[in-house]
């Protein structure tokens, strides 16, 4: 993808020919900003941004204190510091766009205050990423030379993490958009910001230290590289230096692209795909437009596949199949993904993004106050808002979205089956064979054989997905957390054995086929339960009938020793649940009922589970349910369900 662009003479030639690079209109370009306000497709989005900015005029900026920073090392908490950190950048971003839309000085004093506070932060690196050994992506960082568990960052040794890079890009783009106004009113602040971007981000990139994301293993690479190249393109005036920065960043980006499977599957989950794909599209566009290089991205089949990976995962609306550290509800990176759709000419991706623009804009306009959650904020920082307003108009296709009824994502070993081609209609099943090895996916859960069921776009039988991250999330105790452990998934415990995490913990004998009106997945989960499974077999069969909208699931157990216990939980979203005297469980959706008929299983209890995790609360509300099942005839050693509308 980037190998042919790694030629210094080509980069310098492009810079020389592109002296008047102007990616977006500055605040002084009133006709273009008025066109945004007058665009009926952007009307609600623009109004929502202004509504958020208006509320901020009379509010205090959230504090970021030393003791808040210390929380991560002292008690493992990430949220208290990160909430205020992300909210600052989210709010600054809305103020900047609101000022560009109105250009009457209303928001300028508040913008200056936010600039001042962000420049005054001791570190732009969030605590979870600033201490050696505390996160699997914080590689090559030396421990504190004075006290290993010192809860404050070492002076001059900040890690160049996701959000330090994001902060640099946010400030750089804000200065670009507001340059005319800032130079007229507070030129000293403008040049101070330029200097801090250089000191805190670009010089770290150019220095001798190495960062884990250089290896190109996951979303960190695309996220950091795009933000840093963007900040450099806005602030670096020396062509030689800018070309050298671009060359340095294209190396890890090529590594990242090389790790993408030919099918385009993103094993980290759809939430992380949004970041990876969006930033990949942004980086490609930046290289092409700033350096006048045609990467021919649309001709690259893997690039095309990666861009459309999200489509079969859409349940309906902003709900997506979630597995591992995935979240059910996702805010799409609308501007960057719209550009991706343009690069590959995908009407289906364009339609998904277009629908999400209207949904999220209406939601924000109805709820403009301060919210919660990193994901809510991070995808509405300035880089995203600018592209939402100025890139999405280029790609407004009206083709109706359709979904394949049967999809097999071989690289992820995931089957998705539907009774209807329309997202949000009928019965839908997702099931994964997969692996519990964190070396395969550092966001993995112990979920080999897990499945989820959706009815008319509503999640019924569920995967809780990503919880709020803490210090423990990426340590050796990760798999002790109940929502990450196999006991928090729809997979059995056999003779008391739960699934384990580590090398070899994966499905074997995985088989998928789609024949006629049925889709079928089979797997042996025994290597996920036994480090030396030998001849043991724990075969899970899943069959989806597309014409009758019926799911059949069976577990056949052969351990080569007596089977004494078989327990199987089903986790269900908060709704009316009725367990009949015949053992049939009925889950009530908004418009239909899902009937679960157990086979050789009896219900042992219907347990409400109170949700306390902040991220789960945002997605699932205050509770979910666990329906417990156990074997009736243990010697038969075959257990299962039929699931259908009725």
> What are the tens digits of pLDDT across the range 137-183?
899 999 999 999 999 999 999 999 999 999 999 999 999 999 999 99
Residues 385 and 415 in one domain: no
Q: Which of 196-205, 295-304, 325-334, 520-529 is predicted least confidently?
A: 325-334
Q: What is the mean pLDDT of residues 603-613?
A: 96
Across 244-260, average pLDDT: 97
Same domain, 492 and 435: yes
CATH at 219: 1.50.10.100
Does one domain contain both 424 and 372?
Answer: no
> Which whole number is the average pLDDT over 187-191?
98
Q: How many domains does the chain have?
A: 2
- Section 392-403 average pLDDT: 79
Percent with pLDDT over 90 in the chain: 86
pLDDT confidence bin for 644, thresholds 50/70/90: very high
Arithmetic mean of pLDDT, 369-386: 76
Q: How far apart are the first and last CA of the chain?
A: 50
The span from the CA of 565 to the CA of 497, in Å, is 9
The whole domain housing 268 covers 8-392
Residue 397 lies in a domain: no
What is the arrangement of strands in the sheet containing 518-524, beginning at the earlier edge strand? 508-515, 518-524, 537-545, 550-558, 638-645, 593-599, 585-588, 577-579
Look at residue 372 and tell me whether its pLDDT is greater than 70. Answer: no
CATH number at residue 463: 2.70.98.70
CA distance 71 to 74: 5
Q: Is the Cα torsion angle 83, 85, 90, 94 positive or negative in sign? A: positive
Alpha carbons within 13 A on the beta-carbon side of 449:
34
Of 337, 358, 392, which marks where a domain is finished?
392
- Do 372 and 415 reside in the same domain of the chain? no
Contacts of residues 254-258 at CB distance under 8 Å and 24 or more positions apart, as own/partner, are 254/1, 254/2, 254/3, 254/6, 254/216, 255/214, 255/215, 255/216, 255/221, 256/216, 256/217, 256/218, 256/221, 256/222, 256/225, 256/280, 257/1, 257/2, 257/216, 257/302, 257/303, 258/216
Residue 429 has pLDDT above 50, yes or no: yes
């839309």: which residue's tokens? Answer: 101
Nearest of 195, 151, 154 to residue 172 by alpha carbon:
195
Q: Which pLDDT value is given to residue 394?
A: 79
The pLDDT score that the predictor gives to residue 606 is 97
1 within some domain: no
The pair of structure tokens assigned to 214 is: 């250089």
**Do 378 and 435 belong to one domain?**
no
Pairing label, strands 593-599, 638-645: antiparallel
Per-residue model confidence (pLDDT) at position 88 = 96
Whether 522 has a pLDDT exceeding 80, the answer reads yes
pLDDT tops 90 at residue 267:
no
Regarding whether 346 and 444 lie in a shared domain, the answer is no
Q: Give the residue-averaged pLDDT of 493-498.
A: 96
Tell me, yes or no, whether 399 lies in a domain.
no
Quick check: is 401 in a domain? no
Look at residue 368 in the predicted model and tell me its pLDDT.
87
Per residue in 1-17, pLDDT (tens digit) is 899 899 999 999 999 99
Question: What b/e string do you get for 30-67 counting C-beta neighbours within 10 Å, with b at 16 or more?
Answer: eeebeebeeeeebebbbbbbbbbbeebeeeebeebeee
Per-residue pLDDT band at 295 (split at 50, 70, 90): very high
Name the region of 150 (left: φ>0; alpha: ψ -120 to 50; beta: rest).
Answer: beta
Average of pLDDT values for 291-313? 96
Determine the distance from the C-alpha atom of residue 297 to the mean position of all C-alpha atoms in its chain, rounded to a whole number. Answer: 23
φ/ψ of 538, rounded to 5, equals -130, 85
Average pLDDT over residues 630-637: 97
| Alpha-carbon span 419 to 417, nearest angstrom | 7
pLDDT digits (tens, 9 = 90+) for 106-117: 999 999 999 999
Measured CA to CA in angstroms, residue 107 lies from 114, 220, 321, 355, 434 at distances of 11, 33, 40, 30, 50
Report the C-alpha dihedral over residues 101, 106, 107, 112, rounded to 10 degrees: 130
Mean pLDDT (whole number) for 73-91: 94
**Is 261:309 a contact under the CB 8 Å cutoff?**
no
pTM for this entry: 0.93
**Residue 376 — very low, low, confident or very high, per pLDDT cuts 50/70/90?**
low
Q: Is 525 strand, coil or helix?
A: coil
* Mean pLDDT for the stretch of residues 72-78: 93
pLDDT digits 0-9 by tens, 9-64: 999 999 999 999 999 999 999 999 999 999 999 999 999 999 999 999 999 999 99
Same domain, 372 and 453: no
Residue 3: inside a domain, yes or no?
Answer: no
In a domain, 603, yes or no: yes
- Stretch 345-363: mean pLDDT, rounded? 91
Task: Please tell me whether residues 299 and 327 are part of one structural domain.
Answer: yes
333, 357, 392 - which closes a domain: 392
- Tell me which of 343, 365, 392 is where a domain ends: 392
Place of tokens 């800018």: 242
User: Regarding predicted confidence, which is higher, 472 or 230?
Assistant: 230
Instruction: Confirm if 278 and 392 have CB atoms less than 8 A apart.
Output: no
560, 470 contact by CB (below 8 A): no
Q: Share the mean pLDDT of the chain.
A: 94
pLDDT at residue 229 tops 60: yes
The per-residue DSSP string of 17-30 comes to HTTT--SS--TT-H
Furthest CA-CA distance within the chain: 83
Dihedral sign computed on CA atoms, order 19, 23, 26, 30: positive
**pLDDT given at position 183:** 98
Note whether 410 and 384 are same-domain residues. Answer: no
pLDDT at 371: 59
pLDDT in the model for residue 56: 96
Let me know if residue 2 belongs to a domain: no
pLDDT exceeds cutoff 90 at 393: no
CB environment 407-427: b (16+ within 10 A), e (fewer): bbbeebbbbbbbbbeebbebb
pLDDT at position 373, please?
46
* Inter-residue contact 18 to 246 (CB < 8 Å): no
Give the helix, strand, coil percentages of the chain, each rounded to 5. Answer: 45, 20, 40
Query: Is 283 found in the same domain as 412?
Result: no
Tell me: do 41 and 73 sit in the same domain.
yes
With a pLDDT cut of 70, the percent of the chain lying above it is 98
Which of residues 370 and 135 earns the better pLDDT score?
135
Cα 73 to chain centroid distance, Å, stands at 25
Contacts of 420 (CB under 8 A, 6+ apart): 403, 405, 426, 427
Claim to verify: residue 541 and residue 504 sit in the same structural domain: yes
pLDDT category, 614, cuts 50, 70, 90?
A: confident
Is 400 contained in some domain?
no
């Amino acid at each position: 993808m980037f190998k042919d662009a790694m030629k210094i003479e080509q980069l310098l030639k492009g810079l020389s020919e592109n002296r008047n690079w102007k990616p977006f209109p500055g605040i002084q370009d009133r006709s273009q900003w008025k066109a945004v306000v007058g665009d009926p497709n952007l009307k609600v989005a623009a109004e929502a941004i202004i509504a958020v900015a208006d509320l901020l005029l009379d509010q205090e900026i959230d504090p970021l204190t030393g003791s808040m920073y210390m929380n991560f090392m002292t008690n493992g908490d990430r949220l208290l510091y990160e909430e205020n950190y992300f909210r600052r950048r989210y709010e600054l971003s809305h103020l900047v766009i609101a000022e560009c839309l109105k250009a009457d000085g209303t928001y300028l004093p508040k913008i200056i205050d936010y600039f001042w506070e962000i420049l005054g932060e001791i570190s732009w690196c969030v605590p979870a990423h600033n201490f050696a050994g505390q996160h699997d992506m914080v590689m090559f960082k030396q421990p504190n030379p004075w006290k290993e568990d010192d809860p404050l960052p070492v002076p001059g040794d900040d890690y160049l993490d996701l959000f330090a890079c994001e902060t640099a890009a946010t400030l750089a783009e804000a200065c670009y958009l507001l340059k005319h106004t800032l130079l007229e009113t507070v030129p000293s602040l403008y040049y101070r910001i330029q200097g801090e971007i250089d000191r805190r981000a670009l010089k770290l990139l150019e220095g001798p230290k190495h960062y884990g994301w250089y290896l190109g293993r996951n979303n960190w690479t695309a996220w950091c590289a795009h933000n840093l190249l963007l900040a450099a393109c806005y602030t670096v005036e020396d062509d030689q230096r800018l070309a050298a920065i671009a060359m340095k960043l294209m190396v890890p980006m090529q590594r990242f692209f090389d790790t993408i499977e030919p099918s385009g599957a993103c094993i980290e989950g759809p939430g992380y795909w949004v970041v990876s794909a969006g930033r990949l599209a942004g980086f490609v566009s930046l290289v092409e437009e700033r350096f006048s290089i045609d990467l021919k991205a649309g001709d690259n089949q893997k690039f095309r596949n990666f861009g459309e990976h999200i489509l079969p995962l859409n349940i309906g609306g902003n709900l997506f199949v979630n597995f591992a550290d995935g979240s059910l509800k996702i805010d799409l990176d609308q501007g960057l993904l719209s550009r991706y759709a343009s690069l590959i000419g995908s009407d289906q991706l364009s339609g998904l993004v277009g629908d999400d623009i209207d949904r999220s804009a209406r939601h924000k306009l109805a709820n403009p106050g301060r919210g919660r959650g990193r994901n809510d904020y991070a995808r509405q920082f300035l880089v995203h808002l600018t592209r939402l307003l100025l890139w999405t108009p280029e790609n407004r296709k009206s083709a109706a979205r359709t979904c394949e009824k049967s999809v097999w994502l071989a690289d992820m070993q995931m089957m998705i089956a539907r009774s209807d081609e329309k997202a949000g209609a009928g019965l839908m099943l997702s099931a994964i064979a997969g692996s519990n090895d964190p070396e395969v996916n550092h966001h993995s859960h112990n979920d080999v054989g897990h499945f989820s069921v959706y009815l008319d776009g509503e999640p019924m039988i569920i995967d809780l997905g990503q919880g709020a991250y803490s210090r423990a999330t990426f340590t050796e105790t990760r798999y002790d957390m109940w929502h990450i452990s196999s006991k928090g998934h729809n997979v059995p415990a056999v003779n008391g054995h739960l699934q384990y995490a580590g090398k070899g913990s994966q499905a074997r004998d995985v088989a998928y086929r789609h024949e006629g009106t049925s889709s079928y997945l089979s797997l042996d989960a025994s290597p996920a339960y036994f480090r030396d499974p030998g001849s043991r077999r724990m075969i899970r069969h899943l069959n989806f009938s597309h014409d009758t909208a019926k799911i059949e699931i069976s577990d056949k157990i052969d351990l080569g020793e007596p089977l004494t216990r078989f327990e199987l939980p089903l986790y269900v979203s908060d709704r009316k649940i009725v367990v009949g005297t015949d053992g049939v469980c009925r889950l009530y959706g908004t418009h239909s009922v899902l009937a679960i008929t157990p086979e050789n299983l009896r219900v042992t209890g219907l347990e409400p589970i109170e949700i306390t995790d902040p991220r789960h609360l945002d997605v699932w509300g205050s509770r979910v349910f666990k329906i417990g099942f156990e074997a009736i005839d243990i010697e038969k050693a075959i257990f299962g369900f039929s699931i259908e509308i009725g």
